Amino acid sequence: MIVLAVLLLVVVLTCVPYLVTIAFAQGPADASPIFGVTVPEGYKQWELIAPAEEAAPLDELRAVVGNRTAIDAYQDNKLPFPDGTILVKRAWKRKQSPEFASATIPGEATTVQVMVKDSKKYASTGGWGFGRFINGKPVDEAQHRTCFACHEARVKSRDYVFTRLAP
Amino acid sequence: MIVLAVLLLVVVLTCVPYLVTIAFAQGPADASPIFGVTVPEGYKQWELIAPAEEAAPLDELRAVVGNRTAIDAYQDNKLPFPDGTILVKRAWKRKQSPEFASATIPGEATTVQVMVKDSKKYASTGGWGFGRFINGKPVDEAQHRTCFACHEARVKSRDYVFTRLAP
């Protein structure tokens, strides 16, 4: 009887770290530092806003997609973007097409970058929260400190958003 | 009485050209030669398959999107693509970003290119119908004669489709 009880206790205690891991899998561990932004569910199904290309050293192809709130705001030329707007930039290394000499296609995925509009929560950064993810994990706090400074310096007049809706 | 009848006749006859225009607006005039492919409704909302870049002289950024049937086939690595698959390639002139030196963004839209899978209707061209459109209007028959020959020469083993799903 005691042997069984001890065995049960060992089994339960062994499980604890795994249970904690599961509980936090989509929690704080996957949220960006400073902003607490996560990769939104189902973003790959979202509508395309525009593709882009980034020269070396990054040497990437990119595609920015947005949720319904984002697309509606773009189509109505509405600035600032309303709360609830989410923009996601997907990025891949540029890769030579194996079948067509003049074509460049997506290689390995590099980063996923997210902007979330919440004018109250992110009042000190133009109403935007930022997240930069590699393999689903946020990069460090130092990198996240650079997001708003760059957007503010270059596209403050466009509500801090670089990407325009492709015609 | 006769005056009224004549007036009515004039009004009706005046309307005929407009009625014909309306009736054919989404009809044969907007379908591609050879294949009768049209630009599908709502394709801008479709899910992204991959962006791409085309070097000079075309000098374009591109994005291929697909309907649900297409996306499902890609995700299941299903070849050949099932009937009902529709792929749409959007294309824009490459343009220097006004705000970021290393970034290239979409300029003016150039062509919209469509592939429709119907293994019976298009049996003689690998099961695919092709359409190339500029400003919503199909280009000429000579250009459409080149579609299948190129796809057949380069990607026959991939069910005649160049674009892979971006990772």
Residue A29, C-beta contacts closer than 8 angstroms, at least 6 positions apart: A137
* Residue of B79 and A22 predicted with greater confidence: B79
Q: Does A50 sit within 8 Å of B106, measured CB to CB?
A: yes
Closest chain B CA to residue A49: B44
Closest chain B CA to residue A52: B105
Q: Does A106 sit within 8 Å of B51, measured CB to CB?
A: yes
Residue in this structure with the two tokens 């004669």, named with its chain if needed: B145
Could you say which of 3.30.70.20, 3.90.480.20, 3.50.70.20, 3.30.470.10 is the CATH number of the domain covering A28-158? 3.50.70.20
Pairing state between β A103-117 and A128-134: antiparallel
From residue A52, how far is each of A47, B57, B135 by CA, in Å? 15, 18, 22
- Complex ipTM: 0.83
Output the pLDDT for position B20.
47
Q: Does A166 sit within 8 Å of B52, measured CB to CB?
A: no
From residue B96, how far is each of A48, B62, B151 by CA, in Å? 19, 15, 31
**% residues pLDDT > 90 (chain A):** 83
The model's pTM = 0.84
Taking residues A133-137, what's their average pLDDT? 97
Contacts of B51 in chain A (CB under 8 A): 51-52, 61-63, 92, 106
Taking Cα atoms as reference points, which of B7, B151, B30 lies closest to residue A99?
A: B151
For residue range A5-42, what is the model confidence (pLDDT) as tens digits?
666 666 656 655 554 444 444 445 799 999 999 999 99
- Least confident window among A67-76, B15-24, B47-56, B107-116: B15-24
